[in-house]
Structure formats: C-alpha cells, structure tokens
Amino acid sequence: MVISDLASPVAAPARPFGAGAVGCARMWCAVAAAAARRLLCYRATVAASILSSIILIVLRGHVALAVWAERPDLAGYDSTAAITFTVIGQSLVTTFAVFGGMIDMPWRIRNGSIEVDLVRPVGFQRWWLGLEVGRAAVYFASRAVPAAVVGAFLFDLRRPASAGACAAFGVSLGLALLVSFGLRYLVGLSAFWMTDARGVQAVSALVMMFFSGAVLPLALFPGPLGTIAGLAPFGAVVQVPMDLYLGTADGGALRALAFQAVWAALLLLAARALTTAGLRRLVVQGG
C-alpha cells in the first residue's frame, strides 16, 4: 500500500523529507497526498457517491422549495437563498463527513493495528489529520464540485454574494474541515476507553448531521433549540460556510470565521490532551 511504504521508518532513510519544521511539513503533505491517491483508485465508488449526492440534493432541494413556496422569506432567506443553501450545503456533506466516521481509529484500536500508527515518524494526531486533509481534498474535487454543478443545472442557484464572500467561504471551508476533523477524531478517541465505540459514533453522527445545518438551516430551529444550535460547534461545519457564501452571516464575516476558528482550536487542543491520555491506556494484545 502506498501509505505504509511512505511512512515506514525501516525501509526509508531516517529522515527522507529533511530535518526540522520544513521536513515535517513536507512529510505531512506526502501523507495527505498518499491518502488522496489511495481514494482515487476507486473510480466506481466516486461515480456511485456523486450519484447518491445528487439524489439527496434533488430530494432536499425540492423539500426546501416547497417549504419556501409556502412561506417566502422564512428565517431570513428568500427562496433562491434557501435552495442555494440546501444544494451547496448538501453537496459539502461528504467532504466534511457530516454523517460521522471516516476515521477508522476505533477499528484499528480494537484489532491492535493502531500500534503501527504509533511508530510512524509523524505525530499521531497529525497523521490522522493528514489522512483527513487528503481525503477531504479528493472528496471536494470528486464529489462536492460535481454534485454542486449538477445542482446548479437542476435548480436556480445564487452565486457568492461578492468576491469577499467568496474568499471568506474558501477560508471557512478549511476551518470547517478542522472542526469536523476535531469532532470525529474525539469520537474516534473514545475507543481507547470503550471496546465498542459504535454507540458513541452513531449518536455523534446524528447530532452532527442535525445540528450542522445540512438537514435544515439552523435559523429555522425554534426557541432554545435554535440558541443551542447556534452556539454548538456543529454549525461551523455547514451552516457557517453557507452563511458566508450567501452573505447572511450574523454579525459579519469576521465574527463567523472567528467562531469557526475558536471551535477548531478548542477541539484540536482537547483532542491533543485526550490523545496523550488515551495512548497511556492503550493495551495491544500480542502484536
């Protein structure tokens, strides 16, 4: 496999990518690139995934159209904004793995192959982030963009509010990936404490899906539910990027980006602390 060749410290010279921070960054880029190349091997999967994204886009798009036909200007979006939100938000779902998972740490902890990840010459958390960045890049290019393009043919979509909005949207996509990674990585870490992390995974996937804004814009959530949804980190994954795209972010673009950045930093720091704690608990039988 591409990845194991790359990261094997035995087969390769001690520091194949040079010493220091630059070498580290280059190695990390190689990890991400290898993760991306591995995913590109499965062509039929890409086609199937685009098709399924399109199915969900068409369904959710039509539901949104019907809702906004009944109540134009509901929750501060006009009909075109609502459909743009739904279609582009839905096409980003696979890229940010809003349905959870994609980090197969629990399985590797269970069967012991996690020990291989511990001897890699790149930090544990950074290794998983590298895989995720590579995966998300491939998913963005091969799933999100085609799905959004098809969505643009099927529905009347709005372009980004301005060049600034477009730039903010781009930055917020990166931050959304960090938040989504942080959340899913924490869920994955729970496997260090539980032999069977599937329950946590299932609940977290539901919560993330519902509160990310991918199902319905969070502005529709009534009362306290809306307040919770607005403060929780899940909104940083779909709701905030889409608000930046449409220029409907509450309190301006900078505040929205700061919201994402703060959650990303908090989650990654928590993940770091728990990684150390989890690795201390790890017992691999045999080996």
203 part of the interface to another protein, by CB under 8 A: yes
Q: Distance between CA 54 and CA 269 in Å, rounded? A: 36
| HSE of 169, CA atoms in CB hemisphere, 13 A | 19
Contact pattern from residue 207 through residue 246 relative to another protein, giving x for each residue in contact according to CB under 8 A and a dash for the rest: --xx----xx---xxx------------------------
- Helix%, strand%, coil% for the chain, nearest 5: 75, 0, 25
Choose one: 12-20, 58-66, 144-152, 248-256; the region binding another protein (CB under 8 A): 58-66
Q: Show contacts with another protein in window 61-80 (CB under 8 A).
A: 62-63, 65-67, 69-71, 74-75
> What is the footprint of another protein within residues 87-106 (CB under 8 A)?
94, 99
How far is 211 from 228, CA to CA, in rounded Å?
9
- CA angle at 217 for the pair 141 and 81, rounded to the nearest 5°: 75
Exactly one of 49, 232, 268, 274 binds another protein (CB under 8 A); that residue is: 49
Q: 242 and 89 in contact (C-beta within 8 Å)?
A: yes
Q: Are 266 and 180 in contact (CB under 8 A)?
A: no
What stretch of H or E contains 138?
Answer: helix 124-139
When binding is defined by CB under 8 A, the residue of 2, 58, 141, 171 that contacts another protein is: 58
Query: Looking at 44, 163, 273, 283, which residue binds another protein (CB under 8 A)?
Result: 44
Summarize as ranges the residues that interact with another protein (CB under 8 A).
42, 44-45, 48-49, 51-53, 55-56, 58-60, 62-63, 65-67, 69-71, 74-75, 94, 99, 196, 198-199, 202-203, 206, 209-210, 215-216, 220-222
